[in-house]
Amino acid sequence: MIGCAPIPLLALLAGVVAAPISCSKPEAFAAVQPPAAVASQHDVPQDPVPAAPTQPTRVARPKLVVLFSIDQLATWVFDECKPHFAKDGGFQRLLDSGVHFGECAFAHACTETGPGHATIGTGVPALVHGIVKNEWYDRDLKAKVYCSGDANAAALAPFPEGKGRSAARMLVPTVGDLLQTADARAKVVAVAHKDRSAILMAGNKADVVVWCETSTGRFVTNATWGNAPQWLLEFDAKKPMDAFFGWTWDRIGPASAYDGLVDDRAFEAPHATTKARTLPAVIRGGGDAVRPAFYTEAFVSPISNEAVLQCAIAALRGEQLGKDEFADLLCVSFSALDTVGHYFGPDSVEARDTLLRIDLLLASFFAVLDEHVGAGMWAIALTADHGVGLPPEVAKERGLGGGRGLLHTQCKAAAEQALRREFGVEGGAPFVAHAGEWSLVLDRARIAEARGERSADEAFRRACEVAAMACSRAPGIERGYARHEVEGRTADDNLQIRSLAFAAHERAGDVLIVAKPYWLEPSLPASHGTPHDYDRRVPLLAMGPMLQRGAVCADACTPGLAAVYAAWWLGIETPAASIDALPQSAMAK
């Protein structure tokens, strides 16, 4: 088994920035196509889907629609935990009273938080909404840019740490944006721990978008969404995160819920306070007083979800969502399963316990919705922004392959060496300008300088192909693709098809890298970001008017279907698809 030394919490988090098929048809995106210079002229890639059903009858709108994301909830993680959910828990209510889509998977290969939440908010894959990664290399700036970064987004006086974030990089509107355009009297609110989760689900036209700044433990917003609401000022004044200082994280479920899980593995990172890799763990950030290190450790624990739910309920009541005749939208994202999964592994005791706690949090949230909005008067679509793979050490033990290596560094070195051979140069500036998030960006000017008798375009295309071939031979790499090769995809190459679903403009990089299954960089016990099924397949559960109760829908779909349902319930048009895209088999008879 490959060894992996324990990783300090702060160092680990520096690296945590970050079902095949779509029911949505590409021609339905026509109303909000991105600019021609950005949008590919290819159809959005899909696996075969059932014929679109006839348009269902319009239903009475619920007073409130909830889009709910659980970060890093892979289908396999959900399925393994499902027998242990509480009989009166939130998941069981969704399974009993709503529809479970068992064949749900992202079309795009860039299975990361930013792209996933943008898809949940818009209904379209990364090729269309343009959020191709958590961050990407900007050729003009010659630097990486953040998916929800915006230098023009000003801070509000109460929240100086909230500046510099918005949905400005999105190429299409969210369902929330469309709702506000259709009727400004409707309210759109989003709450999450991660800024990109709240921002990219809701969009810039939302009334309120709130996230938690881990450096201060405060829930903040900025001037993009107007003035700070009074309820948020009052909520922050109570210092909700601080109330958890010294909390002991212990197993909440019965012993049987953790059967088969190992609570002390060498590749897991230790808890910051106890320095052990096991539960129970006291959450104090390793100190005796509330400091930023406490907020960091809280982010890698169920505390994060508890605080986000408290904030969401404060928003529900403070904004009086669902209290008038204008249907509202509330977007909520729980981030802790992602940070816990990265830190300890998705098959860890900590991750299982976090998901069991989410089940109970959902039940309490649904009870609040019943009381505040009225039972039967609200609807919800719940899914995840991406999945996750097993830690490589576990995958190898199970005969699935896997390993660790400096994959991006090795790809960059291999590509650089191959390009120097191709162009017959030894010294000078590098040909590879950037390597990261499963892509390489090449220096066009450097290639043009070394092109010889070839045209600049011909030389650049050849450089991309040479670099891709070099990456394909690097340790731990399944394939490298030149982006123009992906655009000329073949029907029998699923990895290539999935890569096309995020190769928008130049944001995706010039060379796309696909790691072999269960291969990772050494910095994280577990991660995601590949086109492999364990990263793409996530649950989707929907509960609301005109849906079957307790049904399992076998129709293939993407998590973008959550946005289509939200739009249907809200009575608005959506860029994702017409209402005909809703699977008929999920409808109430």
Q: What is the pLDDT of residues 552-575, one digit of tens each?
A: 999 899 999 999 999 999 998 765
- Give the pLDDT band (50/70/90) at residue 427: confident
CA distance 99 to 582: 12
| pLDDT tens digit sequence for 52-67 | 333 344 446 899 999 9
pTM: 0.89
**Residues composing the chain:** 589
Q: Is the model's pLDDT at 187 over the cut of 50?
A: yes
* One-letter-per-residue 3-state SS of 278-318: CCCEEECCCCCCCCHHHHHHHHCCCHHHHHHHHHHHHHHHH
Residue 38: exposed, middle, or buried by beta-carbon count in 10 A (0-12, 13-18, 19+)?
middle
Q: What angle do CA 306, 307, 311 make, to 5 degrees?
A: 120
The 10s digit of each residue's pLDDT in 354-366 is: 999 999 999 999 9
Query: By percentage, how much of the chain surpasses pLDDT 70?
Result: 86
**E strand or H helix that includes residue 31:** none
| Helix orientation angle between 349-369 and 336-344, rounded to the nearest 10 degrees | 170
Q: Count of CB atoms within 10 A of residue 108's CB?
A: 35
- pLDDT exceeds 70 at position 1: no
- Whether 4 shows a pLDDT value over 50: the answer reads no
Band (521; pLDDT cuts 50, 70, 90): very high
Token digits for 336? 């802790």
Q: Does residue 41 carry a pLDDT above 70?
A: no
Cα–Cα distance list, 25 to 66, 157, 395, 577, 583 (Å): 24, 44, 36, 6, 13
Band of residue 495 on the pLDDT scale cut at 50, 70, 90: confident
The CA-to-CA distance between both ends of the chain, in Å, stands at 53
The amino acid at 110: C
Mean pLDDT of 121-145: 93
Residue 12 confidence (pLDDT): 26
- Give residue 575's pLDDT: 56
127 pLDDT band, cuts 50/70/90, is: confident
Evaluate whether 344 touches 400 at the Cβ level (below 8 Å).
no
d(C-alpha 505, C-alpha 134), whole Å: 16
Give the strands of the sheet with 188-192, arranged side by side: 218-220, 208-213, 188-192, 328-334, 64-70, 378-383, 540-543, 99-101, 551-553
